[in-house]
Homo-oligomer: A and B are copies of this chain.
Amino acid sequence: MKLSKMHLKTLREVPNEAEIPSHVLLLRAGMIRKLVSGVYGFMPLGWRSVRKIEDIVRQEMDAAGGQEIHMSAVQPAELWQESGRWNAYGPELWRLKDRNGREFCLGPTHEEIFTDIVRNDISSYRQLPMNLYQIQTKYRDEARPRFGLMRSREFIMKDAYSFDRDYEGLDKSYQEMYDAYDKIFTRCGLTFRPVEADTGAIGGSNSHEFTAISEVGESEIAYCTSCDMAATVERAECKDAAPQTEVEALPLEEVETPGTKTIEDVAAFLKLDKTQTMKALLFVTYDMEGNENGYVAAFVRGDRELNMTKLVNALDIPEHAIEFADEDKMSAATGCVGGFTGPVGLHDCKIVVDSELPGLKNLCAGACKEDHHLLNVNYGRDYEGDIVTDIKTLAEGDPCPVCGAPVKHARGIEVGQVFKLGTKYSDAMGAVYKDENMQSHPIVMGCYGIGVTRTLAAVVEQHHDDNGIIWPMSVAPYHVIITVMKPDDEIQAKVAEDLYEDLCSAGAEVLLDDRKERPGVKFKDADLLGIPIRITVGRGAADGVVEYKMRRDADKTEMAVEESKALALKTIQEEK
């Protein structure tokens, strides 16, 4: 493609709305285009890279036995009502009606549709296992779309679903997808880590997220420095502190602690370590219709962080059905006192206690009385929990739940997820097969997603510098950019044109920058666009010499035209 004929508008300035490198650079390189908040279009170069990622995904999915299909983006409410997700999904589900008032949604995922396929088409164990996938536009009506392609409302996803006769089959299908994902993200040039993940609202038993390591990622992962434990922070198990079985319970004592509204304040005032305190977090929950459905007080040791995902799972409610309580209203109903709430004296409210608290003795807690705390609070004697379970976050430096070594945290971008659904959907929607003895069983399912457009953004996050993008060859929109210093110079034009034709005929994908712009503008654009190989045709052209440079390297080399051609083709072959 000749740049003079191509629709390309690069920007020198950083667009106001863009905060992270991938968003800034994809906009500046004219690869994506914002339509409204969270909705982007892809311009010629950006779309080429998307299609390359799609092709990699397609090849590896096919190699793993997946069969590509294509289902509608618009889905009828009835199917979502059958699975129970119509109400459970929350406001991210983008709903609409047709001209007859029938309800639909724009699919964020396709479990219902694919379950509907198999319950209609599959009758016998002989038809299993099966893996169906699609690459398709998906929708989430995000409250705060941001970071460009990272969290958008319309995006391209590959979603696959496996169907097996039993959990052993599911384990195999799951592992095949896990391995395929490994190949896909490796081929895309990503540094990533599969981490154990929460199974959340989709329901199911086991899941891994494929996380591209990046400072700007929205996922926080915890990993062990000595074993291979890695999990999202939402999911990571946290080891309880050892129970203080030897310590004697002291008598409960109320003390005045004026103005000590935070754990820091009260620990300092009472000269206690924070591990000798407990803290309360107060919530209100909602039912399906959005009406208030009772209060919740969650208690963790004073130095711990509450893990919202674990709390929501413990309560068995959707993520959007809980929020921080209005303290005044909650106080009237339950006796809590903002800044001074403890488990003793609370009423009409569900109490969730972190699993390590029952083992700890003589803790300091709020007294449910302004400016007062209680000392020597002990589980069983002074308070009990409606639910006792792990609701704390595994913090950096905490012992690894597997081997005990200190864990580290890192941020990453969730580019893929593999998920053991089990029979959640086949039970709800009646997807069964008959075995050899004509006995019916629910089909055992897995689901497997890859954010195609998010992967594009993740690649840019990991491959850029101050001047622009540095595409890995596999997903670069073009392999080579030929920059002509003076397109009006006949020799330069001829050398460049011949090289362009030769490389194209040999199967390389080449951009010829034949625009009548100053060399500085062209070099800046070439760096911004990030094409892996740049061949500059300048004064040396008269002697058959060009300049060869990899975008990722600082140094450039002068060489004969023929040599540059051979080197480019070899490099493309090795890296694509």
The interface of chain A, by Cβ under 8 A from chain B, is 5-7, 9, 30, 33, 35-36, 39-44, 47-48, 50, 65, 67-76, 91, 94-99, 102, 106, 113, 116-117, 120-121, 127, 130, 132, 137, 139, 141, 143, 153-154
Alpha-carbon separation in the docked complex, A98 to B7 (Å): 31
Name the residue on B nearest A98 (C-beta).
B141
A256 to chain B, nearest CB (A): 47
Q: Are B33 and A117 in contact (CB under 8 A)?
A: yes
Given contacts A68-B47, A96-B94, A121-B7, contact A41 B113 (CB under 8 A): yes
Q: List 29 A-B contacts (CB under 8 A).
A: A5-B65, A6-B67, A7-B121, A7-B127, A7-B132, A9-B120, A33-B117, A35-B71, A35-B72, A35-B75, A35-B113, A39-B74, A41-B71, A41-B72, A41-B113, A44-B67, A44-B68, A44-B69, A47-B70, A48-B68, A50-B70, A73-B137, A73-B154, A94-B98, A94-B99, A96-B97, A98-B141, A99-B141, A137-B137
**B contact residues around A75 at 8 Å (CB):** 35
A158 to chain B, nearest CB (A): 14
Q: Are B42 and A70 in contact (CB under 8 A)?
A: yes
Q: Are A41 and B69 in contact (CB under 8 A)?
A: yes
Q: A35-B116, A99-B141 are in contact. List 14 more A-B contacts (CB 8 A).
A: A7-B121, A7-B130, A33-B117, A35-B71, A41-B70, A41-B72, A42-B70, A91-B99, A94-B96, A94-B98, A95-B96, A96-B96, A98-B141, A137-B137
Given contacts A94-B98, A96-B96, contact A154 B74 (CB under 8 A): yes
Name the residue on B nearest A1 (C-beta).
B67
**B contact residues around A33 at 8 Å (CB):** 117
Given contacts A7-B130, A41-B70, contact A76 B113 (CB under 8 A): no
Alpha-carbon separation in the docked complex, A106 to B70 (Å): 18
Contact residue among B67, B70, B94 (Cβ-Cβ distance under 8 Å from A7): B67
**B contact residues around A9 at 8 Å (CB):** 120-121
**B contact residues around A35 at 8 Å (CB):** 71-72, 75-76, 113, 116
A112 to chain B, nearest CB (A): 10
Alpha-carbon separation in the docked complex, A365 to B102 (Å): 47
Q: Are B139 and A74 in contact (CB under 8 A)?
A: yes
Copies per complex of this chain: 2
Alpha-carbon separation in the docked complex, A130 to B5 (Å): 8
Given contacts A98-B141, A99-B141, contact A43 B69 (CB under 8 A): yes
**B contact residues around A106 at 8 Å (CB):** 74, 96
Alpha-carbon separation in the docked complex, A386 to B153 (Å): 51
Q: Are A69 and B42 in contact (CB under 8 A)?
A: yes
A509 to chain B, nearest CB (A): 12
**B contact residues around A50 at 8 Å (CB):** 70
Name the residue on B nearest A515 (C-beta).
B126
Name the residue on B nearest A145 (C-beta).
B98
A157 to chain B, nearest CB (A): 14
Alpha-carbon separation in the docked complex, A154 to B71 (Å): 10
Alpha-carbon separation in the docked complex, A132 to B116 (Å): 38
**B contact residues around A121 at 8 Å (CB):** 7, 9, 30
Alpha-carbon separation in the docked complex, A73 to B42 (Å): 12
A124 to chain B, nearest CB (A): 12
Alpha-carbon separation in the docked complex, A102 to B35 (Å): 14
A4 to chain B, nearest CB (A): 9
Name the residue on B nearest A129 (C-beta).
B5
- The 8 A-B pairs with the shortest beta carbon distances in the complex, nearest first, are A96-B96, A41-B71, A42-B70, A9-B121, A44-B67, A39-B72, A36-B76, A91-B99
Alpha-carbon separation in the docked complex, A40 to B113 (Å): 11
**B contact residues around A153 at 8 Å (CB):** 74, 98
Q: Are A73 and B73 in contact (CB under 8 A)?
A: yes
Alpha-carbon separation in the docked complex, A54 to B120 (Å): 29
A78 to chain B, nearest CB (A): 8
**B contact residues around A94 at 8 Å (CB):** 96, 98-99
A359 to chain B, nearest CB (A): 44
**B contact residues around A30 at 8 Å (CB):** 121
**B contact residues around A40 at 8 Å (CB):** 72
Alpha-carbon separation in the docked complex, A106 to B98 (Å): 11
**B contact residues around A102 at 8 Å (CB):** 36
Alpha-carbon separation in the docked complex, A94 to B102 (Å): 12
Alpha-carbon separation in the docked complex, A153 to B98 (Å): 10
A106 to chain B, nearest CB (A): 8
**B contact residues around A72 at 8 Å (CB):** 35, 39-41, 154
**B contact residues around A120 at 8 Å (CB):** 9
A478 to chain B, nearest CB (A): 13
Alpha-carbon separation in the docked complex, A491 to B43 (Å): 54
Name the residue on B nearest A38 (C-beta).
B98
